[in-house]
Chain A
C-alpha cells in the first residue's frame, strides 16, 4: 500500500491531516479506510443515519479544499489494484484507491497502459478522474475520459453498477464530480495496448517557440512547454511513438532523450521533494497564446522579483464531461507555480483576472478564487449537474461548507 496518511482507521486523530504541499491542514472527526466496497456502503449508511458528512480522499495531492472536512474522511487506499480486465479490448476494472504509479505496473504486466498522465503519477484513480487531471496533447483528453463504467456507493449507501452505454449522462456528470455524486469504488477504464513512447525535451527561446508553436503542438503525440520567467527561455517536451519523433535541432538544444512505457516517461515529477502551490486555468486553444503573452508581460513587469518558478502550458482535447475544464472546447491549460514556502496568493490573484478574461475555467484541484456565481456561467451543463447532484444526494451527504459555496447548493 502506498505510504499515505490514510493507511489506518482512526476516530481520534491526534494530528492534523495535510495535503501534499502542506498548504492545507484540517482535522476530520474520523478517518476511515474501509477494506471493501461493502464496508464503504455500510459507512455511508451509518453516516446517513447519523446525518453526517462524508468525503472521499485520494492521495491528497490537490491543493484546493474539495476533500477537506471536519467530519468523516474516507480513504479508498485498501480498494486498489487490477480487477477484471480484458487485454484484447483494452479495458480493465481497477480499484479507485489505486495509485497511478502502482497500477501502471500491474497494467504493464497485463499488456496495457493508461493513455496519458499528468506531470506526476502519485494520484489515485478516483482522485485523478474526479478532479479532471490531465496531461498534454491536442488529441489527449483528460484522464476522466477513460472512465466508461464502474461501481458507485450512493448517498443511500447502496452499490450501483455504472456503464456509459446504459447511462451516458450519468457518466458524463460523474467523470468530473470530485466525489459529490457518490463514492466511486471501482472504475472501468478504456486503456491502450502497452507501447513505448520516445520523450525528448528541447530548450529554446520564447520567440522561436511561439513562432513554431502551432506546428509543434500538432506534430507531437504529447506536447507541452515550460516558460521560465527569469530567463525567458522555454523547454518543450515532446512524446511520440518511437520513429515518429521530429528533430528540432535546427532551432533548439536537446536536453533529454529517453524511451519507455508511458508511465515511465510521461510523469517526470512524482518524487519531487520540494513542495509548491499551483493555480491553473484552462482556456480555449485559440486564445492560448494571447493569454500567455499577457501573463508573461505581467510576470516580467511585476513578479519576477519574487517568482522563479516556471509557467506550464499544456493542451487538452475537448470532451463532454459536464464539469470538465475542457467541456465542449479544445483547450490549453496554463499553470502558475510558486514555492510553497513563499507567499503565493498575491501572485495568483493578480494573474487570475487575465485568465478569467479569456474565459478561463479553473482546475478543481488547484488554487482559485471562484465560487458558484462565477462558475455557473463557465459550464453549459452546470444546472443539469446540480439537478442530478440534488437528485442523487438530496441530503448533502457528500457536501461540505466549501463545496456548498463552490457549487451554490
Chain B
C-alpha cells in the first residue's frame, strides 16, 4: 500500500495530567499519539520535545513497523530523558516515511475530566513536495 500522511507533525498543547485514578495502565492519565504507517517499510520517528522555560530535549527515537499502527504514550518516553508530568510541552515529530499522527489525552484524575482526541498538525507543503 502507498504511504499516506506527512513526514512532519507537530503538537503544541501537550500536558500529561499528573493524577490518575483507577487501575493502571488502562486508566493512567496520559498524552498519547497513535501513529499509522501505511507504507511497506518501518517508519523511524524522531521526536523533539519543547518546553516553555528550557531548551528542547530529543530526539526520542521510536519505530513503527510497516502497515501497522502504534500508540506511544509520552509518559513512557525516557530516552534521552523522561518528560515531566503536569507541565506544558510541544512535540515535533519527524518520520522518514509519510505517516498519520493522531494526538489524544486521557485525564483520569481524582476529578475525571473528559478525554480529548485531536489531530496533530501536519505540514502541508514540506519543502515544496507532495508529502
Enumerate A263-286 residues with CB–CB distance to B below 8 Å.
273-274
Within the complex, the shortest CB–CB distance from A192 to chain B, in Å, comes to 34
Q: Are B77 and A308 within 8 A (Cβ)? A: yes
Output the residue of B24, B77, B78, B83 with the most chain A CB within 10 A. B78
Within the complex, the shortest CB–CB distance from A246 to chain B, in Å, comes to 24
Q: Are B73 and A231 within 8 A (Cβ)? A: yes
Interface check B85, CB cutoff 8 A: yes
A218-261 CB mask vs B (1 if < 8 Å, else 0) is 00000000001011110000000000000000000000000000
Interface check B80, CB cutoff 8 A: yes
Q: On chain B, which size bracket covers the interface? A: 10 to 19
Q: Are B24 and A339 within 8 A (Cβ)? A: no
Q: Say which one of A47-55, A57-65, A129-137, A299-307 lies at the interface with B.
A: A299-307
Give Cα distance in the complex from A331 to B41, angstroms: 46
Assuming the A-B contacts A231-B73, A305-B18, are A342 and B79 also in contact, with contact meaning beta carbons closer than 8 angstroms in the complex?
A: no
Output the residue of A274, A305, A309 with the most chain B CB within 10 A. A305
User: Closest chain B residue to A274 by CB distance?
Assistant: B79
Q: Among A230, A306, A307, A342, which residue has its beta carbon within 8 angstroms of that of B28?
A: A230
User: Closest chain A residue to B18 by CB distance?
Assistant: A305
Give Cα distance in the complex from A232 to B22, angstroms: 11
Q: Among A233, A273, A308, which residue has its beta carbon within 8 angstroms of that of B78?
A: A308
User: Closest chain B residue to A308 by CB distance?
Assistant: B82
Assuming the A-B contacts A233-B25, A304-B85, are A228 and B76 also in contact, with contact meaning beta carbons closer than 8 angstroms in the complex?
A: yes
Interface check A4, CB cutoff 8 A: no
Q: Which residues of A contact B78 (CB under 8 A)?
A: 274, 308-309, 339
Q: Which residues of B contact A231 (CB under 8 A)?
A: 24-25, 28, 73, 75-76
Q: Which residues of A contact B86 (CB under 8 A)?
A: 305
Within the complex, the shortest CB–CB distance from A165 to chain B, in Å, comes to 47
Assuming the A-B contacts A305-B85, A339-B82, are A230 and B76 also in contact, with contact meaning beta carbons closer than 8 angstroms in the complex?
A: yes
A-B residue pairs in contact (CB < 8 Å), sample of 18: A205-B25, A228-B76, A230-B28, A230-B85, A231-B24, A231-B76, A233-B25, A274-B81, A304-B85, A305-B18, A305-B86, A306-B82, A306-B84, A308-B82, A309-B78, A339-B82, A342-B81, A342-B82
